[in-house]
Structure formats: C-alpha cells, structure tokens
Amino acid sequence: MPSRPIPPGVAAVFKFDAGQDGVLVLDTTAKPATVSTTDRPADRTIKIAAPFLLMAVDGRVPVGVAFMKFVRGVQGQPGLAVQIQPFLREVAAKGKS
C-alpha cells in the first residue's frame, strides 16, 4: 500500500479502540508514519466499533459523519481528532478509486 501524507503539523499517536475487536494505532510521530494493531499509550484515543471505522476508511460513510454518529468516546489531547480527519478522508477517497 502506498504511503499517504499526514497533514502538516500533525505529529501524534492516534489509537482507534474497537473494544473486543482490538485497536488500530496510527503513529504520525514516526517518519514515515506507522500503523499497528499493538495496543500502546496514545495522544488521542477514539473509541469506535470496527465496522464503523472500516466504513469511514473505505468511504462508505463520510469521515465527519462517522465521527459524529459512531464515536463512543474520545480521550486525550483536544483537537487531534479533528486534525486527522483530512488524512482519513484522503484514505477513504483513494479507497473508492
């Protein structure tokens, strides 16, 4: 999978917590950014069920809608969830093509 640029100025560890389905950790402090399913501390944790996260990433549901309707909780630094949305939108758009 080709790498996608992270928005400038977004250097953080994001964890998408899908409960029993596990976690997806996006580390934008690493160069290049890394993705892992290994649980670890994060700057921002977003609790969302795996099917809804997949729907957002593959473009079936707009990222903003997924965040507003399906996120069950957010912990950590304020504003980071908003900063990562353009990156997720780009991933979703490329997934549709």
Identify the structural domains of the chain with CATH numbers, from first to last: 13-87 (3.30.1050.10)
The whole-number average pLDDT for the span 7-24 is 85
pTM score:
0.77
Question: pLDDT, tens digit, for every residue of 35-88?
Answer: 899 999 999 999 999 998 888 888 888 888 888 888 888 888 767 767 777 767
Query: What angle is formed at CA 39 by the lines to CA 34 and CA 43, rounded to 5 degrees?
Result: 70
Q: Are residues 19 and 30 in contact, defined by beta-carbon separation less than 8 angstroms?
A: no
Distance of CA 55 to the CA centre of its chain: 12
The sign of the CA dihedral 35, 40, 44, 45 is positive
Q: Are 16 and 53 in contact (CB under 8 A)?
A: yes
